[in-house]
Amino acid sequence: MGSTTRSAARSGRPDITTPVLQVDDLAVEFVTEVGWLNVIDGVSFDVRERETLGLIGESGCGKSVTAQAVMGLIATPPGRVTRGSIRLDGRELLDLDEHEMRDVRGRQVAMVFQEPMTSINPAFTVGQQITEILRRHLGLSRRAARERAIDLLARVGIPAPSQRVDDYPHQLSGGMRQRALIAMALSCEPRLLIADEPTTALDVTVQAQVLELLAGLQDELGMSVLLVTHDLGVVAETCDRVVVMYAGEVVETSEATPLFAHPKHPYTAALLECLPGLRVDEALRPIPGLVPPRYSLPPGCLFHPRCRYAVEACAAERPPLSETGVGRCVRCIRAEELELPGVGS
């Protein structure tokens, strides 16, 4: 009864030797009125054993497309992967056919989406949906699968799981539905969980509960998490490392703590300055304009038209993603000279 407290600090450092997921030079195209268009272009990152990697950026930066590509969920048409490699424990996922991919999906990589009402089938009970996964991937009997489903619902903190298992999704609240979805995603104890805005539709109090639950389960199951979100607060609370995307490209990768304290890319710093409640008495500093659509990209650095620190050279050439420190890459020609404001500085 009442409340519990738990340190948000997580135990143990992630093992940095073997990446669970390696995405290399990934490009995805979608067909549009003006022909095929690159939506993400040359995206590379690793997700290491037991770590949580945050993928951040505004809407339209390509974070969700990246996540869908990893899940093999880019439908052709309208989309197609044109280049690159996605390896899970060293195995190339892009070489798999749909049948093989279906075994990977749910068993080794699972996904939790933003909208718990649309990503869950309203016509089946929560129990039916979990048992189907268990029977398909683990070959459990009907009875064993049902018992396991009740177990899983209990594990994600759903009260009275043996009754809830027969509930339809609409009978659950938003927070409970998201828990049920997490139970579904974790039913086969995947190596990698992809969470796309998992708490965006939830109240802040329920969000705190769900994040706590995810962190606990991650420790327990030893899985890695790829967290796609635009909420920098959530990233700071949960992620070990962060990849910042802008207009379909990676613009900065870093460990979480230095990224927030000393952002190196002006876009990262600009995102931080949009947050209310950071510098309490200061005005917000919105980023002017919008993310450019991929059919009318500016020349040079893609961010330069919105960048406060842009100089003439920024419009001349697309800057490469260069390593500026251990585990830190930045796509900005002024990265070394700029002192950008961070959190708590």
Which residue ranges make up the site for another protein (CB under 8 A)? 1-9, 58-59, 173-176, 203-209, 211-212, 230-237, 239, 256-257, 260-261, 270-278, 280, 283-287, 290, 343-344
Q: In this structure, which amino acid lies at residue 315?
A: A
Would you say the C-alpha torsion 276, 240, 113, 159 has a positive or negative sign?
negative
DSSP letters of 215-262?
Answer: HHHHHHHT-EEEEE-S-HHHHHHH-SEEEEEETTEEEEEEEHHHHHHS
Q: Shortest Cβ distance from residue 258 to another protein (Å)?
A: 9
Structure token pair of residue 165 = 């298992």
Count the neighbouring beta carbons within 10 Å of the beta carbon of residue 185. 26
Nearer to another protein, 101 or 206 (CB): 206
Nearer to another protein, 17 or 205 (CB): 205
Nearer to another protein, 84 or 175 (CB): 175
Q: Shortest Cβ distance from residue 101 to another protein (Å)?
A: 31
Q: How far apart are CA 312 and CA 326, in angstroms?
A: 29
Q: Shortest Cβ distance from residue 123 to another protein (Å)?
A: 25
Q: Shortest Cβ distance from residue 19 to another protein (Å)?
A: 21
Q: Position of tokens 């996922």?
A: 93
Q: Shortest Cβ distance from residue 212 to another protein (Å)?
A: 6
Structure token pair of residue 118 = 């649309």
Nearer to another protein, 72 or 266 (CB): 266
Q: Shortest Cβ distance from residue 203 to another protein (Å)?
A: 4
| Cβ atoms of residues 291 and 247 within 8 Å | yes
The dihedral over CA atoms of 106, 129, 186, 23, expressed in degrees to the nearest 10, equals 30
| Cβ atoms of residues 164 and 153 within 8 Å | yes
Nearer to another protein, 261 or 316 (CB): 261
Nearer to another protein, 320 or 327 (CB): 327
Q: Shortest Cβ distance from residue 247 to another protein (Å)?
A: 13
Count the neighbouring beta carbons within 10 Å of the beta carbon of residue 169. 20
Nearer to another protein, 16 or 284 (CB): 284
